[in-house]
Amino acid sequence: MKNYIHGRWTKSHSSDKLNVTDPGTQEKLWEVPLGNRDDVDSAVKSAFGAADIWRNTPATARIQYLFKLKGLLEDNREEISRVCTMECGKTLAESRAEMQRAIENVEVACGIPVLMQSEFSEDIAVGIDEFIIRQPVGVSACIAPFNFPIMIPFWFLPYAIACGNTYIVKPSEKVPKTMQMLFELIDQLDLPEGVVNLVHGGREAVDSILDHPNIKAVSFVGSSKVARYVYERAARNGKRVQAQGGAKNPVLVLPDSDMEITTKIINDSVYGCAGQRCLAASTIIPVGDHKRVFTEAIVEAAKTRVTGYGLEAQTEMGALISRESKARTEHLIQKGLDDGATMLLDGRKAKISGYEKGNYVKPTILENVNPDGDLNRTEIFGPVMGIIHVNNIEDAIKLVNENNYGNAACIFTSNGSYARKFRNEANAGNIGINIGIAAPMAFFPFSGWNDSFFGDLHGQGKHAVEFFTQTKVVIERWPKEWTRKF
Ligand code: NAD
């Protein structure tokens, strides 16, 4: 596997390599180089060199490359989705869906000429006008997680380049081939050399990005611990940073919600992508007196979900990314039991016929989870639902707001005033009302609060335009008497 620097596939300067394995079989797929400072430096040199040409290319011309990219993404959807499934473990349908989200972000970024429009005030004083212009920030970079290898870099990349920045992508070393394939499409765009670059790697590549004086803006998505580290280190180095972290998303279920639809949606939210989604529901909080009805319905829904290899047509839930991830999930389940929870559905010791070595955990449900225990306090990132019953909506919202994270919070109800109260009072950046995965469309910012986000401006939509541009206020005087007659 190679880096893509200055419009060419380039061998890494590093001899360190990592084996990439298929999470569903544990078989080795390929090797990825763990890029070093020299690799990042080459990418930055190239991006820095291309910055002037690119920012002086009119926005209307820049977006023509994105129109072409949209077509290439659509034409290659299937092939890239297959590779994504192989290295990430998710189902093919899930890979296709994230491909769709990536395409939608390209589409929104095609609107940059409008989104970057300036604000203008004429005659703020006699003969004086004032206006704002937006200019690119310069070389920018993104550091991505494993769980959405296609979609997440596209929360940033299309906006960055449409706004006139040059760009570097550092994908997760666990799923590098998917981004390599996307760069094979980018290579076909005939962009000026250096506008977009790819550097494979892990920690050294990240630190080199965070320290490089010529990188002006960094977008990060990953676990909260690393997000905080990235935020602090990049900010200390004077960069603009947006760092999206982990999550622990609560879902309230009120007795007036439609139990059949609600349990189906919650089931998809908890177990989609095997729980490895930053918006996945994790703690379910039934409110009031419908304990039995809810728990029986949700166990029935979860039991029927077919766990298996991602490329098999019948599979509804794939494997966890690694052995460590599986062990960690099972450890947290045990901690939950030790802290007093009751097991309603045990997905440990999952054996998938033909894929015995894969990192599978089947849907798991624990009831009466200790709110202060590790299972409720820690991001699991696995197919585990913890249920905590409460008596009223005030207690439920209190529980939501005791959570250190704040990525998403959802409520299921048919009562508008409860929904409104929740929307106002829940401390989370993405709110779902009768929605299980509160994922904003590409023209809305992907929000997130507390330990789920460090920074100000989020990815996607107008926030991305703000993040990737800096404003200049121009105050201009043209006295009438300077108008010469010809
Ligand atoms: P991760 O934090 O382990 O890795 C993310 C990136 O950081 C990778 O590119 C990796 O190479 C790099 N990295 C890892 N450890 C590092 C270190 N010590 N120093 C410097 N760089 C390091 O995250 P992951 O396991 O790949 O992804 C899962 C996490 O991402 C979950 O916590 C999930 O909630 C979060 N996530 C958040 C969002 C969001 O929008 N908030 C979206 C997707 C995933």
| 231 CB within 6 A, ligand 1 | no
What value does the mean pLDDT of the chain take?
Answer: 97
Which pLDDT belongs to residue 73?
Answer: 98
Is pLDDT of 481 > 90? no
Q: What is the pLDDT of residues 275-314, one digit of tens each?
A: 999 999 999 999 998 788 899 999 999 999 999 999 999 9
Question: What residue's CA is closest to ligand 1, atom 35?
Answer: 222
| 227 CB within 6 A, ligand 1 | no
Q: What is the pLDDT of residues 427-455, one digit of tens each?
A: 999 999 999 999 999 999 999 999 999 99
From the list 208, 204, 141, 139, the residue with the least C-alpha distance to 169 is 141
pLDDT average, residue stretch 180-203: 98
| 98 CB within 6 A, ligand 1 | no
Query: Ligand 1 centroid vs 12 CA: distance in angstroms?
Result: 22
Query: Ligand 1 centroid vs 220 CA: distance in angstroms?
Result: 8
Which pLDDT belongs to residue 290?
Answer: 79
Is pLDDT of 485 > 90? no
Q: What is the pLDDT of residues 221-268, one digit of tens each?
A: 999 999 999 999 999 999 999 999 999 999 999 999 999 999 999 999
| 378 CB within 6 A, ligand 1 | no
- pLDDT band of 420, cuts 50, 70, 90: very high
Which pLDDT belongs to residue 89?
Answer: 98
- Residue from 221, 248, 325 whose mutation best tests the ligand 1 pocket (most atoms within 8 A of CB): 221
Would the pTM count as exceeding 0.85?
A: yes
Q: Transcribe 339-386 into DSSP letters.
A: TT-EEEE--TT---TT-TTS-----EEEES--TTSHHHHS---SSEEE
Task: For the chain, list the domains and their CATH numbers.
Answer: 3-245+452-474 (3.40.605.10), 249-433 (3.40.309.10)
Note if 163 is an active site residue: no
Which pLDDT belongs to residue 292?
Answer: 86
Query: Ligand 1 centroid vs 476 CA: distance in angstroms?
Result: 46
- Which ligand 1 atom sits closest to the C-alpha of 172? 9
Q: What is the pLDDT of residues 329-348, one digit of tens each?
A: 999 999 999 999 999 999 99
| 99 CB within 6 A, ligand 1 | no
| 147 CB within 6 A, ligand 1 | yes
Element (H, E) at 228: helix 224-236
Q: String of b and e for 128-162 (b: at least 16 CB within 10 Å)?
A: eeeeeebebbbbbbbbbbbbbbbbbbbbbbbbbbb
Asked whether the beta carbons of 198 and 177 are under 8 A apart, the reply is no
- Which ligand 1 atom sits closest to the C-alpha of 448? 41
Which pLDDT belongs to residue 140?
Answer: 98
